[in-house]
Structure 1
Amino acid sequence: LRMWDIHLYHLTGIALSRQDARAADLCHALAVYLQLSGKYAEAQSYFEQALVIRRRVLGGAHPDTASALHCLGALFGDMNKPDEAQNCLEQALLIREQVAEPDFLEIAESLSVLGNVLLAAGKLPRAQPCLERALALYKQHLGADHAQTAISYGQLGALYQAKGDLSAARFYARQAQAIRERLFDTDFPRTATSLVNLGVLFQDMGNLADAAPMLQEALSIFELKLGPAHPHIAVILSQLGRVAQAAGDTAQARTYLERALVVQDMALGPDHPETAALRVELNALLSGNSDDGHRGAL
């Protein structure tokens, strides 16, 4: 552990003995840091402790309780636990909508993450109104050229891709990419997220020549910004493996999938559903019975 990490753990441990609102804040901050570091199991523990304290000290309808529920739900989404994620996120959204003076950006945040979880779970009819409301709120309150607006465009692109409407999917994905290129350096992680989603879209359209470079560029950005062992790295590596497989390059596909499995195993553990699914996919490739229908997006 780095010195800063040790200090944060130490401060949080001391604060937890008090079980007050400040202890919850420190738990929450540490959980966010752990989530960004890809340490999901530890992050879950601290988010849950923060939620318990806030419910007891502040009450079940307090905005900070909603924030704890929202962040825990988003983490469950990252951990591929859609039922737990949906439950937390719906509770957070309800609290945020019912407060005396609603914060429309927090409501948009809840709608965006909830819509993404529903999309990942294949619940497209329920995901669409959430994502459309989120986009409308972000455009209204932040403007058409904001980073969050770009995220919403990208999510709707993924939704239409899942529905099989590739023309609409490309429109929304291009909107997201255009905003990010105007706002950020080309090596910014959010630009890389757009590149991943566009790469997956081009793969679905059979345009492998454009898909592979986009994914490779995104991989370089994420490795530089997040490090080689982050879960996002495994997502991109596995997608590059599928592109190589679709292009008939089995050896390259194997290399990418094996690298992805190593990262996934370190980040999420060998028994995680995503790790198990990737292992099955690699074994299928090695046995010659592969199915490249699986898709990954960020």
Structure 2
Amino acid sequence: MVDLGEWEEARRALETAEGLDAEQPVRTETLADLAAVHARAGDFEEAGRITGLARLALDGGGDHEVRRLLSSVDLALARWSNDPVQLSQVAEDLREADRERRGAPESQRSAEISALVLRAAVEFEWARSLNAHEHMVQVTDVLATVAARAAAELGARHPQTVTAVINLSCAEFETARRTENPPRLQSAVRALEEAALRASDCFGDRHPLTITALTNHACAELDLARAVESPAQLERAADALHAVDRIATAGVGAEHPTARLLKGALKACRRMQGTGGVPIGYGSQLTLVRTAVGDEWHPREELMSPDVASRALSTPQHPAVASQELLALLEESHEFALHLGEQGEWSSALGTHRQVAATRETRLGPDHPDTLASRYEIAFALSKLDRHADALGIFGQVAGARARVLGPEHADSLAARQEMAFLLGRLGRHFEAFQVYTEVLGARERTMGAEHPDTLRCRHNLAFNLGQLGRWEEAYRMACEVAEARSRRLGAEHPDTLATLYEIAYALGQLGRWEEALATYRDVAGARVRALGPDHPETLATRYEVGVCLGRLGRSAQALEVYHALVEDRTRVHGPEDPETLRARHGLGVNLGRLGRWEEALAEARAVCAVRERALGPGHPDTLVSRREIAVALGWLGRWEEALASYRQVARGREEALGPDHPDVLASLKDEAHCLEQLGRTDEAVTLFRRAAERAADRPRGVDGA
């Protein structure tokens, strides 16, 4: 019934089944089917609620096909919210499902191709939401391969082949739009037309997939008319839109997002023909292609998905107008919250920003630039409170809304996306961060110029990100270029210039060029003393790195002197339990060990670990680093049984915090295995080494896990 588009009948049948006392797997599958029905009917809030119930019922396990169905619902919800972070999470869920299937019996060819199409579609949506054009092209090639395989293995008329062709035609059109090549765009529109005809032949006119394919084609005809400025093409688009509007209204109802999209497209078409009035409010921003997410196409209009378009059309056109007095009060409160943040009072700042955002949303609307500015600051405050995942989600929503309202290359849109990239890096998702930084940098260079401070800041961050990906030579070269540009534009001792020189020194260390790193850090430390003062956090951070370099060069006695002085200054400035004070004490303990003073090193590691556990919690990465240092010292003292217990605590803590495949977790497994070797428990050690190697081999390479 769902495949035939009989929404109400399917919904009633599934709701009846949900109420029966069925076994858990049957109930879970029923919930997943019901969520899919609501998503196809355009009832996204209810689809989201039922999806949550289904995932609770799955409890982390469940049938792969049920999980894939829920992922398809998640994709629809992500399109509805216009949220690149949500799209990224759907993509990661599908990659994880694929990894779990390895070694399982081969599924039927149809189901396997269906899974490939869904995964590629999600990857394409994610890439487009971030304007990652190169990745869009790569995924389009994957879709072409999947469509060819489906035709060869299942036949050209098989439903999965037709579905693959529909997705491929959408992807080809989206990539063609970016080429500013009318013949290529025209070819892509004809491919959409062919896909729609095949869908109609395979499924019938009223099937939801056919209606989607017909809508894709009709809206693309209108985009082509705008591109080539042809009255004949405009007439062709109008005919196609009228035809599919009748089919969609009959098939899915006038309130379905697709039907709403078509009504808006027809308004735009009449406006272009000079026969219709100019729509007001959000209607003037409405267009035109099913899956476009806030991607600029035309200077007067922005592309929206039908889901977002439907939401926009049903939003009140004139939200309540705030008085000038209230607007002034809100701006004053916003500035006060910014001041709280500058003073380091991030919890208070967060509360104030939330109050301002709530009032602005009520009085100005959720997509008003001032509302989005407040939500941006909420995310920024959350990031300062180390709530990186929460902050990332809000930055993603703000980025999507700003792209829709202001345009994807507006400075505010780029700022939100750049913060997303920063947080992806903090969460260890470095390849995704690289994708976002690269796209933002390209947009900044186009719109601001190569040496604009914001462009240079993005390049600085990208250089750091390259290092996190292990590409240290590239990171070093890019950082040198940024330092030269910043010195030229801002001055040799500007804080931003010194920040990039600091990253150059770090890259030199990672490349094993410790003498050069030491010299650079010392230069930066001296300049920061002059520019910022001796007690500034960045000055003290540079002194810490000087100690690191000395230790790496075997000059541990000198490093010890540096750390002793740094601990005193950190304690005086920030207090004995400040994380950076404890970090300096950790460095002191490491160098005590390098000098063979292992009893002192053990005592220092235990003291630091105790404070970190109390202040930060037992699972905090810094606490686990200290616990590992305890294990190292115990090993050097020959106390291997005690060392093993500490190593195991570290491994468990890291796995809980970071997941089983994180590099730090794999390193902990190797530490534990080495300890077992020292205890003569060779078989256990070999098992652990093998487990670490298998997990390392299974770690995904790049965004698509390939």
TM-score, normalising length: structure 1: 0.81
Over residues 238-286 of structure 1, what are the superposed CA-to-partner deviations in whole Å (9 max), with x where a residue is unaligned? 3332112112221232233233334555666655655544433332221
Corresponding residue number in structure 1 for 2:402: 15
Percentage identity across paired residues of the two chains? 21
Aligned to 2:539, which of 126, 129, 149? 149
Per the TM alignment, residue 151 of structure 1 is displaced from its structure 2 partner at its CA by 1.4
Closer/same/farther in 2, CA of residues 268 and 207 from structure 1, 3 Å limit: same
1:261 aligned onto 2:657: no
Q: What's the C-alpha RMSD, in Å, of the aligned pairs?
A: 3.1
Superposed, 1:116-265 pairs within 5 Å as 116-220=506-610, 222=612, 231-265=621-655
1:6 aligned onto 2:393: yes
- Of 210-219 and 236-245, more deviation after overlay is shown by 210-219
- Of 274-283 and 162-171, more deviation after overlay is shown by 274-283
Over residues 107-143 of structure 1, what are the superposed CA-to-partner deviations in whole Å (9 max), with x where a residue is unaligned? 2211222212322332113212211111111111122
Corresponding residue number in structure 2 for 1:27: 417
* 2: CA distance, partners of 1:240 / 1:81: 31
Per the TM alignment, residue 189 of structure 1 is displaced from its structure 2 partner at its CA by 1.4
* 2: CA distance, partners of 1:210 / 1:79: 36
- Secondary structure class of the residue paired with 1:187: coil
Corresponding residue number in structure 2 for 1:284: 674
Checking the alignment, whether the CA contact within 8 Å between 1:115 and 1:131 is kept in structure 2 is yes
* 2: CA distance, partners of 1:103 / 1:73: 20
* 1: CA distance, partners of 2:455 / 2:548: 30
Over residues 42-63 of structure 1, what are the superposed CA-to-partner deviations in whole Å (9 max), with x where a residue is unaligned? 5444434433322232222222
Closer/same/farther in 2, CA of residues 100 and 107 from structure 1, 3 Å limit: closer
Per the TM alignment, residue 204 of structure 1 is displaced from its structure 2 partner at its CA by 0.9
Over residues 196-251 of structure 1, what are the superposed CA-to-partner deviations in whole Å (9 max), with x where a residue is unaligned? 21111111112223323433444455556666555545433333321121122212
- Of 76-85 and 12-21, more deviation after overlay is shown by 76-85
Which sections of structure 1, spanning at least 5 residues, go unmatched? 291-298
TM-score, normalising length: structure 2: 0.37
Superposed, 1:63-142 pairs within 5 Å as 63-78=453-468, 81-99=471-489, 101-102=491-492, 104-142=494-532
Larger radius of gyration between Structure 1 and Structure 2: 2
Corresponding residue number in structure 2 for 1:61: 451
Per the TM alignment, residue 192 of structure 1 is displaced from its structure 2 partner at its CA by 1.7
- Secondary structure class of the residue paired with 1:99: helix
- Equivalent residue pairs, number: 290
Checking the alignment, whether the CA contact within 8 Å between 1:187 and 1:221 is kept in structure 2 is yes
Checking the alignment, whether the CA contact within 8 Å between 1:28 and 1:47 is kept in structure 2 is yes
* 1: CA distance, partners of 2:454 / 2:511: 27
Which sections of structure 2, spanning at least 5 residues, go unmatched? 1-386, 681-706
Per the TM alignment, residue 174 of structure 1 is displaced from its structure 2 partner at its CA by 1.9
Closer/same/farther in 2, CA of residues 21 and 220 from structure 1, 3 Å limit: farther
Closer/same/farther in 2, CA of residues 285 and 269 from structure 1, 3 Å limit: same
Corresponding residue number in structure 2 for 1:293: none
Checking the alignment, whether the CA contact within 8 Å between 1:69 and 1:91 is kept in structure 2 is no
Amino acid at match of 1:166: S
* 1: CA distance, partners of 2:520 / 2:529: 14
- Secondary structure class of the residue paired with 1:59: coil
